[in-house]
Structure 1
Amino acid sequence: MDFEKAFGADIREVGKGEREGRLTHVVRAARTYPTSQADLWTAITEKQRIERWFGDVSGDFKPGGRFSIEGNADGDITSCDPPHTLALTWEFGGNKSWVTATIQDVKGGALLTLEHELPTDKESEAHWEKFGPGATGVGWEMAMLGLDGHLQLKGQPVIVAGQEWAEAKKGKSRLRSWAEAWGESSH
């Protein structure tokens, strides 16, 4: 995979939401992949495939099941409507947020829209004020990039190559540009 031509999201949006009567921040990223809706669905929901592009994962992959991504987040699968929508909690650093992935058939492939809804309690709001939407958005764009590599390379693992790229000078520069784009999306 040519990481120098890499991009994360086609669409970046930042907005407000509401959950359980409380305001939330919403970070939304979308990208079209040249594959079918069914193939993209299995790439984001099957353990063996997730581990090739995202990380080591364990758990019970069904509604009501609990999952864990090594060195990242844990959560509960709250809703699953194959091959359209997956909703889950995202528990990271002592905070709980919510993620919804939606897949649609579109011209040229399948559109993945990922929406991450973050709470606005005092601690979460301090993190948002310090790092902005880029803290969430860039992480998801890196995941979208890994997913793209997985699909391009017909299922070959891409995690190590992606980490090496992200730590190199050109990768850091690209990630910085993504963070700036997220900042611009929030205005």
Structure 2
Amino acid sequence: MIDIVNQINATKRELGNQAVTTGEGRSVLLRRVYDARIEDVWSACTDRERLGRWLGPVEGDLRVGGTFQLKDNAGGEILRCEEPRLIKVTWIFGEGMPTEVEVRLAPTDDGRTIFELEHASPAQVVDELVRAYGPGGTIGIGCGWDLALLGLDLFLHGVQFNPATWQDTSEGKEFAVRSCHAWGSAIQAAWATSDDDIAAAVAFAVRHFAPETTADR
């Protein structure tokens, strides 16, 4: 059984202004410490076979300048790869707008690994979406990455985990609800969003990620 509360609390969540290749950007930032050496975490994030066991099957030419495609997920171009500390890729889902994902690793003094993932989108596009629909979409981006970081932690500890099926279980929906609320708090702190607006955004995200549950946590 997964300790959902500890998994949610293990990740620090922030909103940022990370630039994208085309200019100004807006980003979600996730940071946590994994109980594994940096070489092991790097391998889990870059080795085709290992990556497929926690994020999803991946195809493509996995080198700088090459392209990748995750099954039933996003694809893009590999922009930077600086072993064992940094990976940066474009991240495009279907016909959606081009975004960028950067993963940064750093060793701790006690042999663990600080993991940061920043997902940045063009600022103008994000600002227009937020004005039109509120912060619910940003919560959705963060929740998706929360599930990925959970999968990586379980993989590093040798736990068999299939996110595609687990997220539809009662345990998976509980994780999604708590993730939505955690991102709601991060967004409210960064943007000074009103209580009513953030509650509506969290409820919207919960209905998408955890249907038939309550948003009250």
Q: TM-score range by the shorter chain?
A: 0.7 to 0.9
Distance 2:173 2:127 in 1: 25
Structure 1's 176 and 50: CA in aligned 2 closer, same or farther, altered over 3 A? same
Q: CA deviation at 1:152?
A: 0.8
For residue 23 of structure 1, report the CA deviation from its aligned partner. Answer: 3.3
The residue number in structure 2 matching 1:176 is 177
Q: Say which structure is richer in strand.
A: 1
1:56 and 1:21 mapped to 2: Cα distance? 29
Give the whole-Å Cα distance in 1 for the aligned partners of 2:99 and 2:127: 10
Question: The residue matched to 1:89 in structure 2 has which SS?
Answer: strand
Query: Could you tell me the percent identity over the aligned residues?
Result: 30
- Distance between the aligned counterparts of 1:163 and 1:122, measured in 2? 29
SS of aligned partner of 1:75? strand
**Following superposition, which runs of at least 4 residues in structure 1 exceed 6 angstroms of deviation?**
none
**Corresponding residue to 1:115 among 115, 118, 127:** 118
**Equivalent runs, 1:1-187 vs 2, <5 Å:** 2-5=1-4, 7-8=7-8, 9-19=10-20, 22-93=23-94, 94-108=96-110, 109-122=112-125, 125-126=128-129, 129=134, 131-153=136-158, 157-159=160-162, 162-186=163-187, 187=189
Q: Write the letter of the residue equivalent to 1:97.
A: T
CA contact (8 A) 1:132 1:183 kept: no
Offset at residue 20 of structure 1 (A): 5.3
Q: Specify the code of the residue in structure 1 equivalent to 2:144.
A: G
C-alpha displacement of 1:167: 1.3
Task: State the Cα RMSD in Å.
Answer: 2.2
Partner Cα separation in structure 1 for residue 125 and residue 11 of structure 2:
32
Amino acid at match of 2:7: F
Q: Report the equivalent of 2:205.
A: none
Distance 2:125 2:81 in 1: 31
Question: Quick one: which amino acid aligns to residue 123 of structure 2?
Answer: T
Greater relative contact order (Cα < 8 A, sep 6+): 1
Contact 2:154–2:161 (8 Å) recurs in 1:
yes
Relative to 1, partners in 2 of residues 1:70 and 1:163: Cα closer, same or farther, differing over 3 Å? closer
**TM-score normalized by the length of structure 1:** 0.87
Distance in 1 separating the partners of 2:180 and 2:161: 22
Residue ranges of structure 1 left out of the alignment (5+ in a row): none
Query: Quick one: distance in 2 between partners of 1:11 and 1:123?
Result: 22
